[in-house]
Amino acid sequence: MKMKMILSSLIFHCCVIHFVSAQLLQVGFYNSTCPQTETIVRQAVQNQFNSDPSITAALLRMHFHDCFVRGCDASILIKSIGSKKSEREAGPNRTVRGFELIDKIKKTLETTCPSTVSCADIITLATRDSVALAGGPNYPIPTGRRDGLISNAADVNLPGPSLTIPQALQFFTNKGLTLNDMVTLLGAHTVGIAHCNFFQDRLSPVPDKTMDPTLVSKLLKTCVKSTATAFLDQNTSFTVDNEYYRQIMLRKGILTIDQELTLDKSSAPIVTSLAANKGVFSQSFANAMIKMANIDVLVGSAGEIRKNCGVFNQKANRKVVN
């Protein structure tokens, strides 16, 4: 009984700490210290989007990969030091894009408001703006995050594309997210792409019976070269909408995890609801993105405000380890 009480207390305090940290964030956090922040971020993302609409997918992926490792603290941005590998060098992050855009925004903000806006907030704001530009919801996002002091490649453990729903859900519940959050966040695949090697086993030697035969034939032609890629939403590939769910209901999911959403009894009803109503999807997606952006955030005096997003401020603080 005593042990149960101790465990319950630990769980309670853990949850309270997480909740309190998130509560210290606020919409318009920089209104008095750097009022141009959101305008500067939005303009930079707009310029990038105009020439490369795939930046939305890139930023969504960066944001997810950052928040699911040590929380939303921009640790994914840190560059490795010699043989000491940072998160950026971990296998799942080697194809993450968008670093140059974040660096460009940071440089402008440092000129305007030195040592004020965190790299973690820049990722969060830039992702929000890119989603809106791609036709998705434009939601108010709380800011006030600070940047982490640790970036370790060995810490990177992200849900893979071939997991079952229960296996994937464990990653999300560990971060305080629900099944509904997971199904909704996977909707980001509406603008995503995947390299053929991540779904080649669904095409050959024996085609996956849960995939539409016409799609199998199309992808076999696309994936003649193993380095080729395919859109995860074959219809509206650059638009943040609910078409992804419509596609997987037609057995046109590219990755195993995509199709599993419609096959698992727990997630299938959520897919049906999101596929049926774009407004429901938009609101759910905004809520899930805000919730994800609150994962294990650093606030107050924790962490730091980096001057360069790819480098810790002080050498003594650097904790890039093997």
H, E, C per residue of 87-109: HHHCHHHCCCCCHHHHHHHHHHH
Which of helix, strand or coil describes residue 193? strand
Residue 13 assigned as binding residue: no
Half-sphere CA count of 20, side-chain side, radius 13 A: 7
Residue 190 assigned as binding residue: yes
Active site residue 195: no
Residue 75 assigned as binding residue: yes
Residue 161 assigned as binding residue: no
In 3D, which of 39, 142, 26, 156 has the Cα closest to residue 91? 156
Residue 241 assigned as binding residue: yes
Residue 159 assigned as binding residue: yes
Residue 69 assigned as binding residue: yes
Residue 73 assigned as binding residue: yes
Cα angle 302-128-240, degrees, rounded to a multiple of 5: 145
Which of helix, strand or coil describes residue 139? coil
The one catalytic residue in 18, 63, 65, 195 is 65
Q: Which long-range contacts (CB under 8 A, 24 or more apart) does 223-228 make?
A: 223/196, 225/196, 226/195, 226/196, 226/197, 226/200, 227/195, 227/196, 228/195, 228/196
Q: Are 40 and 79 in contact (CB under 8 A)?
A: no
DSSP label of 317: G
If one counts every other C-beta atom within 10 angstroms of the C-beta of residue 194, the result is 16
Residues annotated as catalytic (active site), given as ranges: 65
Q: Which residues are annotated as a binding site?
A: 66, 69, 71, 73, 75, 87, 159, 189-190, 233, 236, 241
Q: Which residues are annotated as a binding site for heme b?
A: 189
